Structure 1
Amino acid sequence: MAALDPLDLLHFFTAQFAAQTRRISAMSIAKRGRLYHLRRRVPRRYRGIEPRETVWISLHTDSETIAHGKADRASRRCSALL
């Protein structure tokens, strides 16, 4: 059996994690331009400070698989701030 390229292993494990993330959370991820973004609703208690109903957080990737992995971490960090 041939050794796997480290990048192939990274993609495999990222895809596995992303599949689990999709089952766990219902985050809204969308491609805007060439990069993926996480869409988050602004809680009503902050509407006086932030007039937008939703904010877009860049995931800094053009790969949907990697975006799903990053979205979970970004969502948790955003929730911790709120």
Structure 2
Amino acid sequence: MLHAEAHDLEADTLQSLSQASVGCDFRIRFLSGPACEQLRRLGFCESMQVRKLAHGRNLICSVCGTRMALSRELAEQVKVCPA
């Protein structure tokens, strides 16, 4: 029960990649949503580090040394915490 409460508390402190600040490094904690498999194929996996580079019509980030553009809908499904 204590482990479940800790997980719930941690999930409450996470933010989506679309909410994250530009120029900061984040660690991907989990993927949540209908496009999880698509995101994993793109390289967005749990425990990976990602840097948000720009936020506009599409979100631009760097993961594994590669710049990628994501729609806001996909970025909402990536839950991150500060690295």
TM-score range, shorter chain: 0.3 to 0.5
Please identify which structure carries the higher strand content. Answer: 2
Please identify which structure carries the higher helix content. Answer: 1
Q: Which has the larger radius of gyration?
A: 1
